[in-house]
Structure 1
């Protein structure tokens, strides 16, 4: 789902709110979250998950084209850790979607189309 799809979905579900109001709210929230992470703070949304920064130390990488070693500087990368409620909801939803797909295609719910097992 893209940002614009999220905005459109929220407008459909909350018909009393205008598109511009929802768009402003979503953009403001995302900008504030980005600023909070950029300042080194952690974000925790109970039941959903937490956003934090993980440190990556400097390392030597390789140029894929030439194979030459390249020095890569240290950096911080955003990290999302889903909360228990979100994990449970995703697993329940994914299992249900997988079973529905299996019924439609006539395959075993424990396998995907490549034959890989999920059990």
Structure 2
């Protein structure tokens, strides 16, 4: 199952701390802060979870998968995520 924004709101609401509306506003605000921070080129570090950062990709040669024709891919920015050691250990603990 994929965890969606709606699932996060439901889980926060289920803790009986906030109303459903407040829970949705909190999650929207959190995601907006993360987006604005990444847009400005800064990293987002969440202790015990991981680090989101923006990386620059250079122009490179590629190919059209439908026709096989070579094309040039323009430079762009991508968001990367590196999980923390704590999260990695929790994920691997189930093995």
Fold in common (TM above 0.5) = yes
Q: CA deviation at 1:57?
A: 0.8
Q: Could you tell me the TM-score, scaled by structure 1's length?
A: 0.74
Q: Which structure features the higher share of strand residues?
A: 2
Q: CA deviation at 1:65?
A: 1.2
What are the superposed Cα offsets for residues 6-59 of structure 1, whole Å, 9 maximum, x if unpaired?
1111111x2131001010000110111011001100111111111111221101
Instruction: Give the aligned partner of residue 70 of structure 1.
Output: 71
Q: How big is the alpha-carbon RMSD for the aligned residues of Structure 1 and Structure 2?
A: 1.0
Q: Which structure features the higher share of helix residues?
A: 1
Long gaps (5+) in structure 2: none
Greater C-alpha Rg: 1
- Give runs of ≥4 in structure 1 deviating > 6 Å: none
| Distance (Å, rounded) in 2 between the aligned partners of 1:80 and 1:29 | 17
| Distance (Å, rounded) in 1 between the aligned partners of 2:84 and 2:68 | 40
- Equivalences for residues 80-95 of structure 1 within 5 A: 80-92=81-93, 94-95=94-95
In the alignment of these two chains, the number of paired residues is 93
What is the DSSP-based 3-state SS (H/G/I as helix, E as strand, rest coil) of the residue aligned with 2:8? helix
Higher relative contact order (CA 8 A, sep 6+): 2
Matched, 1:4 2:16: no
